[in-house]
Amino acid sequence: MFTGHFAVGLAAKKLSPRTSLPVLIVAAMLLDLIYLPLVLLGIEHMAIEPGITAVTPLNFFYYPFSHSLLAVLFWAGGFGFAHYFFNRHRTGALVVGLLVASHWLLDLVSHRPDLPLVPGVEYFVGLGLWNSVAMTAVVELGLFLWAVRLYGNYTRRDSLAGRVSFWSFFVVLLIMQLMAYQGKPPPSVEVVAWSGIGSWLFILWALWIEKTRRVPGMRPRL
Ligand SMILES: [Zn+2]
């Protein structure tokens, strides 16, 4: 999933309004933010195999350190604990930990059975929503549109910048998602990994949103 993970990060603002949006988005995307550098380092792997699912031509055949259930529990606990350590904010820590875990649950729904439970054990899970582009679009875009509406209604803009930051974020992500549904195979795994690392741009974008829109009556903190 792509916009599905952003959706969960946006919606979590309502659960922990004091936590800044870039932190919520990083938590929701964390497993992929770990996975793609590991691919470039040759520690985890993916391959391009057109037709392996209807939605994505990527075969995620080795990612035990970023995407096994056991690793995810570690990352979720670690991220939640680190957040608590630096902010002393219990709700925020709980929410970011759950966001890290939510990534795996969304992947569980969408991936073919390629998600390991424990590194080194040849047993994989995945419910295969990606076998249907139409069903994926309904679920993922439904989630994304719901979350954008929720965030837009929950936060207030102080200036025009607050409108531009948020709606441009929405439109760019939506266009990228619709292009991804075309299922065009990328030229190489390196291109996939580097463009994934480019998703840090959206985290900076989320910081811009955080600075230009606020939850009424709340002072944001990281
Ligand atoms: Zn993932």
Q: Which two tokens stand for residue 184?
A: 């065009």
Could you read off the pLDDT tens digit of each residue along the chain, which spans 222 residues?
A: 899 999 999 999 999 999 999 999 999 999 999 999 999 999 999 999 999 999 999 999 999 999 999 999 999 999 999 999 999 999 999 999 999 999 999 999 999 999 999 999 999 999 999 999 999 999 999 999 999 999 999 999 978 999 999 999 999 999 999 999 988 899 999 999 998 888 899 999 999 999 999 998 876 555
Q: How far is the CA of 167 from the centre of ligand 1 (A)?
A: 25
Report the C-alpha gap between 74 and 87 in whole angstroms: 20
Q: What is the DSSP string of 134-201?
A: HHHHHHHHHHHHHHHHHHHHHSEESSHHHHHHHHHHHHHHHHHHHHHTT-PPPS-HHHHHHHHHTTHH
pTM for this entry: 0.94
Q: How far is the CA of 187 from the centre of ligand 1 (A)?
A: 20
User: How far, in Å, are 3, 29, 31 from residue 18 at the CA level?
Assistant: 23, 19, 23
Domain extent listing, the chain: 3-214
Report the C-alpha gap between 52 and 109 in whole angstroms: 16
Q: How far is the CA of 104 from the centre of ligand 1 (A)?
A: 7
Q: How far is the CA of 195 from the centre of ligand 1 (A)?
A: 14
To 5 degrees, how large is the angle CA 95–CA 96–CA 102? 85
Report the C-alpha gap between 57 and 48 in whole angstroms: 6
User: How far, in Å, are 23, 70, 128 from residue 136 at the CA level?
Assistant: 26, 26, 10
To 5 degrees, how large is the angle CA 205–CA 94–CA 37? 50
CB 47 within 8 A of CB 181: no
Q: How far is the CA of 42 from the centre of ligand 1 (A)?
A: 17
Nearest partner of 38 among 75, 69, 65, 60, judged by Cα: 65
